Structure formats: structure tokens, C-alpha cells
Copies of this chain bind each other. A is one copy, B any other.
Amino acid sequence: MSESALIQGAALGAVRGERVLFRDISVTVQAGDLVLLRGANGSGKTTLLRQLAGLSPPQAGEIERTETHHWVGHSNGLKAHETPRTHLEHWARVWGSEASIPDILREMGLRRPSEVPSGMLSAGQKRRTALARLKLVARKLWLLDEPFNALDRDGQALLVDMIAGHRADGGAIIAALHGTAPIEATREVVL
């Protein structure tokens, strides 16, 4: 495995039902990379991302990880009774984060709904809460599945900044994305 690679997937493959979703896909990510997973609906971006995250074992190929990563999938991982604040406090405790939750909430534009149970939050507010987890602890690798979904203009600008900043700090991102990327990517993996 090449030095400095944060994660390396070689000749990955996935089968669903009797159908081969993708085969022989290789992904290598160095510090500062932004790798975009492209492909039509149902082409297997989420599946690949979950393999890279270690959520489902690849049906073919090898994955080598050097770092723990952050995960923001299609579903935000909020429990119905959690508010944005309690959700962040929860994971801050799990990850032993020192970060100031109020600051993060402000930065993510969640100050106002910070006490609203996630069941009543708007789609974009839920998404912002999930993305706010990225700020709790510094992890080199981010795995994001259509992170811009449901975000408004400010939200998208915010996320673009977060991504740029993360790359500048020597972090890397693998993201599944549709449409025109609002940010320059290092490489695209097409499924």
C-alpha cells in the first residue's frame, strides 16, 4: 500500500440480487484529495461507500485503512427524541471531543432549532446536524453520501468551506455526488 494513502480499495466488487453492481473498482485517497463517486441512480455509489466505511464487506477486492473516518450517509443518524444539541453532545462524549457544542451549532446555523427534537426539524436542519458531527473531532478521512442534499444556498456554501478547509488541513474526502459539483475535485470514480 502506497505511503500516505489514507484508505485504499483495490479491485472492489459488489453483487446485489443476481446482478453485478460494479466490479474491479479501485480507490486510493491521499491527504488533501477530494474523490467524487459518480454514476447513475442505482449504480452502486452508496454500496461502494459502505464498503469503504467497513459497513458491508466487499464481495470482491481488498480494502486497507490507516485512519478512523467520519461517516455521513443518506440517513442522518438522528434519533427522534434527540435535539441538535443533545445529538452533538452525545457523539462528543462518545468520541471524547473537547469542541464547544454551542460554537458548532452557531457555525452550522443551528442555533435557533438547537432545542427542537429531530422529529420536528426541517430536512435541511437534520442534514446540518449530521454534518455538524464532522466538527466534533478531527478525523483525516470523511465519507459523505450526497452531502449537499436538502441544504439551502448558505448550507451548501458552508459545506464547501468545510471541505476546502479540511483538505487544506491535510484531510481527505470521498463523496457520492449528483449534478455539477460546487467544488473542484481531485479525481472522479465513475460507476
Task: Output the least CB separation between A157 and chain B (Å).
Answer: 11
Contacts of A156 in B (CB 8 A): 178-179
When all copies of this chain in the complex are counted, the total is 2
Chain A contact patch, size range: 20 to 34
Task: Output the least CB separation between A46 and chain B (Å).
Answer: 6
User: Chain A 107-147 against B: per-residue CB contact (8 Å), 1 yes, 0 no?
Assistant: 00100110010001111110110000000000000000010
Contacts of A178 in B (CB 8 A): 124, 150-153, 156
Task: Output the least CB separation between A180 and chain B (Å).
Answer: 9
Contacts of A90 in B (CB 8 A): none
Residue of B nearest to A46 (CB): B122
- Interface members, chain A 146-165 (any B CB < 8 Å): 146, 149-156
Q: Is the CB of B146 within 8 A of A123?
A: yes
Contacts of A150 in B (CB 8 A): 41, 74, 146, 149, 178
Give the B-binding residues of A (Cβ under 8 A): 16-17, 19, 39-42, 46, 74, 109, 112-113, 116, 120-125, 127-128, 146, 149-156, 178-179
Q: A41-B122, A42-B124 are in contact. List 7 more A-B contacts (CB 8 A).
A: A40-B153, A41-B151, A41-B155, A42-B113, A74-B123, A150-B178, A156-B178
